[in-house]
Amino acid sequence: MMVDFDQVALVDVTRHFGRRRAVSHVSFSACRGEIVGLLGPNGAGKSTLIGIAATLVSPSAGEVRFGGRGARSHGPALRGRIGLLAHELHLYPELSARQNLSFFARLYDLDVGEHVDAALRSADLIDRADDDVSGYSRGMRQRLALERTLLHGPRLVLLDEPFTGLDDRAVGIVTERLKRIASDGAIVLLATHDLDLADGLVTRVLLLRAGRLIADETAGAGLRGRYRALIGGG
C-alpha cells in the first residue's frame, strides 16, 4: 500500500539507551517544501531524532505522525516514502555507481535506465558511472549515496551530516539538489553541526542541546550569533 503525507510531526518524543537519555520531550513538525536544519554539537541528539523520524528507532515515549498516520501502525508502508542518508552510506564498493543505483532501483520497482541515468547526472558522476565505487573519493561516494537516497522520489528526506567529505564544488551540487527537491514538494530534515553550510540552505532551524529542543525558528541572518548565544561556542 502506497501512502503519502504533507507533514511529519514528532510529538513529545523521548528516547533512552539504557540509562542515557538521548532525546527528551522533543516536539516539532515539518511540512512539504521546508528544509529544516537540526543543529547542535556532537551528542545533542540529532542522529537519534533522524533515526526516529526514519521509523528505524522507536521512541521510548511520544510518537511520530506522518500526516494522520502513526509510525507504529503504518511503518512498512511509510518507509517507501522515506529516503535516508546516514553516516553509513549503504553502497557496495565492489560494484560500479551504475550497478549500485540499478540494484536499488529494482528494489523500488523503478524503470532502471531512466532513473539511474538521471541520478548519475544529478550526482555529476556520469563520466565515472562504470567505475567501481571502491575507487571513488569520499565526496564522490557521498554524492552517489545522496542519489541512492532520492532515487524513489521520497516525500520525507532525512540527511545526517550530508556534506561530509565534500569539496566546495560538491557542496554546491548537493545544496542545489536539496533546494530543488524541496521546491518539488519534499520535506527535508538534515542534521549538521556545520553552521556555514546550513546558513542559506535551511528554511527553519531547530537548535538542540543535550537532547532537548531549545529553539525552533525561521532561518535568517545571524544564525551563528543565535547558536553561540543559546548553545555556546561555534
Task: Note the pLDDT tens digit of each residue in 29-39.
Answer: 999 999 999 99
What are the two backbone dihedrals, phi and then psi, of residue 21, each rounded to the nearest 5 degrees? -95, 105
Query: Distance of CA 123 to CAs 30, 151, 152, 173, 197, Å?
Result: 26, 11, 15, 8, 18
Q: Is beta strand 187-192 parallel, antiparallel or unpaired with respect to 35-39?
A: parallel
DSSP 168: H
The count of residues in the chain is 234
Whether pTM > 0.75 for this model: the answer is yes
Cα separation, 218 vs 141, whole angstroms: 32
| 167-189 residue pLDDT tens | 888 899 899 999 999 999 999 99
Q: Is the pLDDT reported for residue 233 higher than 60?
A: no
DSSP-based three-state secondary structure for 153: coil
Q: Which three cell numbers stand for residue 76?
A: 512498512
DSSP 58: -
Task: Please list the helix, strand and coil fractions of the chain in percent, rounded to the nearest 5, in that order.
Answer: 35, 30, 35
| 13-33 residue pLDDT tens | 999 999 899 999 999 999 999
Mean pLDDT of the chain: 91
Q: Report residue 164's pLDDT band, with 50, 70 and 90 as the boundaries.
A: confident
Poorest-pLDDT segment among 36-40, 143-147, 161-165, 202-206: 161-165
Cα separation, 104 vs 91, whole angstroms: 10
Q: Is the pLDDT reported for residue 193 higher than 90?
A: no
Q: What is the pLDDT of residue 221?
A: 65
Cα separation, 185 vs 183, whole angstroms: 5
Q: Is the pLDDT reported for residue 73 higher than 90?
A: no
